């Protein structure tokens, strides 16, 4: 890890453990250009030629008559607008004359140890011995606008964190109409682009396609990072796969409207930009005021997608998630939602708790329906007071009874929403987002609270805090069940309505920061109709996010595979639910449901009092399995072996324990086929000279691990493979434990 300015070459050199990032100054005007990002370079002699400024159209100081041609082909580190570069811009600013041209050039720089926080925004972190930061100050003198381009590198992972802070140093008002978090130009060797798409209950499915000329983007205008398109993009060299080839990965640490775009131009170079979506965005910058963009994450891997995954997992576990639960075993919870929906009372909850405690479950989570007159999803959001018709004696009494059974207690909130039929709406109808004179748009029969307003945030958090202080509540599920529409705030003047989307996100971040500050030992799980707001920004506040409302084990194979390509397994909320599954109606073995849920936080979402005797007997074995292996799953290194999304037949991945003594191989056979032989899969990350004993995780009796008598060298397992028997039937799953044989 290190950052240096090479004065003779006018190059900035940023090194991570395995990569190098180079930028250069190309002209006396201070044009800052991208030079290189890839495998680590020890000697960068002559690298400045990669900017191609030694060839036509040359720099303006040599050939100002073709200034526009230069601006339109120079590999910008942060692209301009309206002055001659006709590719995607990084920034657009409207000045007092109504003009929007911007050209930022180098002014000065600072290199320092560590990494500073971003005001009001989630961001990666690192102390003086863990990270190093470069800040490049650029300026557009005509506008009186300065921009601080920030780059941070980390000592333990191949990631670069980037962001931009804009400052109005002139005497007039400016309006930011576009402010990307980063821009990067490079040659296109024939990249494929990999993105994650989906919808509610089928989030984050991988899609790979060739990157052609023109612009390819993923984005959202829903006010959340969305079920439909994820804030992630990767560019893959031809033939790149899990283990080989070059991969450039890009993400945003943000939870609102985003735009991530790759553009291939006339010279076959590719420009990647990402940041807040410019549609419906405008931010007033008065004299002396500043604006901070969200953070962007860049990573390079020369070892395929697996290398990218490893770098991102390390980053998020070591430099983003702050929760005290990061390295702690999470309690096995049971959520009553799919068990009861809105039809419950304290007796029903106690029945579930009593049965759960007897089977090794450790926490009862009371979901939607406990407050106000919330007997269905048409009312009461915003009225966060306990419904004592349902919970006789109040919340405190219920929690005491649950605790007396040996269970912890958790609760569900949806703090950002309001029902038209609620006391809060009757008192403060102007607190809901609305456009004057237009009929508001309902979704799930609810409106969105204008949490850009401090008084709204204060009112909601006061109610939430009162509930949480009233009883021994150790877990909160924070939900958000609809997108943002009717973008109008009664508290913003007309010229500042374009700030609403981003101010909403900032307000939500402030609310969650207040929550975990007031209750530092709280286990917070974020949720947005399932996986609608699964992004790095939310991981800054909660160590886990509900992965999807679809709990079907087979559907979860694709959802969890794509999620785990970016995020640690410990971040994925995963539960065992009842069959037929409530989303797709599929029947899968109870054993398979448990094995698939183990690749996440692990819990239950069902009426445990109605389980069959056979399934009920398996619950204590599953909870024992969780306790035996969760530390390994939470802290271990993840390797994708085979993809059900690609082969449409089976799924396989591996988790290696941090001490190297054990590894787990997760194998799910989706559909069986007649007259087929066994499968052979090549494992990864083992010690080639070690020997490993193979055991099978068993749910058949009290013996959790059954020895198979099979023993292999690491070389055989990685270079030859491990033979997996065909399983009898469809939707069958198996977990193998490889234990290193000590000399």
Contact (CB, 8 A) for 12 and 43: no
User: Catalytic residue at 156?
Assistant: no
| Distance of alpha carbon 559 from alpha carbon 122, whole angstroms | 25
Count of beta carbons in the 10 Å neighbourhood of residue 673: 9
Quote the Cα angle for 414-418-423, to 5°: 115
Count of beta carbons in the 10 Å neighbourhood of residue 703: 9
Nearest to 179 by CA among 322, 276, 258: 276
**DSSP per-residue string spanning 577-618:** E-SS-TTT-----HHHHHHHHTTTT-EEES-GGG--HHHHHH
The one catalytic residue in 479, 535, 552, 637 is 479
Contact (CB, 8 A) for 685 and 654: yes
Nearest to 616 by CA among 409, 429, 361: 361
Nearest to 627 by CA among 330, 323, 324, 325: 330
| Distance of alpha carbon 265 from alpha carbon 51, whole angstroms | 16
User: Catalytic residue at 549?
Assistant: yes
| Distance of alpha carbon 207 from alpha carbon 226, whole angstroms | 16
Question: How deeply is 53 buried, as exposed, middle or buried, from its count of CB atoms within 10 A (0-12, 13-18, 19+)?
Answer: buried
| Distance of alpha carbon 194 from alpha carbon 71, whole angstroms | 29
Helix (H, G, I), strand (E, B) or coil at 553: helix
Strand pairing report for 363-366 and 333-335: parallel
Residue with tokens 């990218």: 308
Contact (CB, 8 A) for 319 and 153: no
**Using alpha carbons only, how large is the chain's radius of gyration in Å?**
27
The one catalytic residue in 85, 95, 535, 549 is 549
| Distance of alpha carbon 687 from alpha carbon 693, whole angstroms | 13
| Distance of alpha carbon 252 from alpha carbon 240, whole angstroms | 23
**Catalytic positions, written as ranges:** 479, 549
């Amino acid at each position: 890890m290190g950052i240096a300015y090479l004065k003779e070459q006018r190059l900035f050199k940023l090194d991570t453990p395995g990569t190098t990032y180079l930028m250069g100054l190309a002209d006396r005007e201070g044009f800052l250009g991208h030079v290189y990002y890839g495998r680590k370079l020890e000697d960068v002699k002559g690298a400045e030629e990669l900017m191609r400024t030694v060839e036509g159209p040359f720099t303006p100081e040599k050939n100002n008559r073709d200034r526009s041609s230069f601006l339109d082909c120079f590999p910008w580190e942060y692209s301009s607008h309206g002055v001659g570069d006709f590719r995607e811009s990084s920034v657009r600013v409207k000045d007092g004359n109504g003009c929007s041209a911007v050209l930022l050039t180098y002014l000065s720089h600072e290199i320092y140890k560590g990494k500073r926080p971003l005001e009001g925004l989630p961001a990666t972190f690192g102390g003086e011995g863990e990270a190093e930061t470069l800040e490049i100050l650029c300026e557009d003198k005509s506008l009186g606008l300065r921009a601080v381009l920030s780059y941070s590198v980390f000592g333990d992972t191949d990631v670069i964190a980037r962001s931009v802070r804009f400052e109005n140093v002139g005497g007039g008002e400016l309006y930011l109409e576009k402010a990307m978090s980063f821009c990067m130009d490079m040659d296109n060797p024939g990249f494929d682009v990999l993105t994650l798409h989906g919808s509610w209950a089928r989030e984050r499915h991988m899609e790979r396609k060739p990157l052609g000329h023109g612009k390819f983007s993923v984005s959202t205008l829903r006010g959340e990072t969305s079920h439909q398109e994820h804030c992630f993009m990767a560019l893959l060299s031809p033939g790149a796969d899990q283990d080989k080839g070059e991969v450039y990965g890009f993400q945003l640490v943000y939870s609102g409207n985003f735009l991530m775009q790759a553009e291939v131009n006339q010279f076959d170079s590719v420009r990647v930009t990402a940041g807040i979506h410019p549609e419906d965005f405008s931010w007033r910058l008065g004299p002396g005021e500043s604006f901070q963009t969200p953070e962007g994450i860049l990573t390079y891997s020369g070892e395929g997608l697996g290398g990218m995954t490893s770098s991102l997992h390390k980053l998020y576990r070591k430099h983003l998630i702050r929760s005290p639960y990061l390295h702690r075993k999470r309690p096995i919870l049971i959520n009553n939602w799919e068990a009861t929906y809105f039809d419950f009372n304290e007796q029903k909850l106690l029945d579930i708790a009593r049965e759960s405690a007897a089977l090794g479950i450790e926490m009862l989570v009371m979901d939607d329906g406990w407050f106000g007159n919330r007997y269905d999803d048409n009312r009461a959001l915003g009225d966060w007071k306990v419904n004592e018709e349902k919970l006789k004696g109040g919340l405190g009494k219920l929690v005491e009874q649950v605790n007396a059974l040996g269970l912890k207690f958790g609760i569900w909130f949806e703090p950002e929403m309001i029902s038209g039929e609620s006391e809060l709406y009757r008192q403060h109808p102007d607190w809901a987002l609305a456009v004057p004179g237009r009929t508001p748009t309902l979704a799930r029969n609810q409106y969105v609270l204008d949490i850009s307003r401090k008084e709204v945030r204060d009112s909601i958090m006061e109610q939430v805090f009162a509930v949480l202080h009233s009883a021994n509540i150790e877990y909160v599920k924070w939900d958000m069940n609809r997108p943002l529409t009717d973008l109008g705030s009664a508290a913003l003047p007309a010229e500042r309505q374009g700030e609403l989307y981003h101010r909403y996100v900032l307000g939500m971040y402030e609310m969650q920061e207040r929550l975990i500050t007031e209750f530092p030992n709280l286990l917070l799980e974020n949720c947005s109709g399932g996986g609608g707001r699964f992004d790095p920004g939310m991981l800054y506040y909660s160590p886990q996010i509900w992965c999807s409302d679809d709990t079907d084990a087979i559907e979860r194979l694709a959802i969890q595979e794509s999620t785990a390509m970016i995020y640690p397994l410990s971040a994925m909320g995963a539960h065992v639910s009842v069959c037929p599954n409530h989303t797709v109606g599929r029947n899968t073995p109870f054993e398979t449901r448990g094995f698939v849920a183990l690749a996440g936080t692990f819990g239950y979402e069902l009426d445990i009092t109605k389980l069959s005797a056979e399934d009920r007997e398996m619950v204590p074995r599953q909870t024992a399995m969780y306790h035996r292996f969760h530390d390994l799953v939470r802290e271990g290194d993840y390797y994708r072996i085979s993809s059900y999304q690609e082969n449409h037949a089976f799924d396989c991945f591996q988790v290696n324990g941090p001490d190297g003594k054990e590894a787990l191989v997760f194998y799910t056979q989706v559909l069986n086929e007649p007259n087929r032989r066994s499968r052979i899969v090549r494992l990864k990350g083992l010690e080639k000279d070690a020997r490993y004993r193979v055991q099978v995780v068993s749910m058949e009796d009290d013996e959790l691990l059954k020895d198979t008598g099979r023993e292999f060298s690491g070389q055989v397992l990685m270079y030859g493979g491990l033979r997996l028997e065909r399983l009898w039937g469809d939707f069958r799953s198996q977990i193998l434990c490889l234990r290193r044989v000590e000399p």
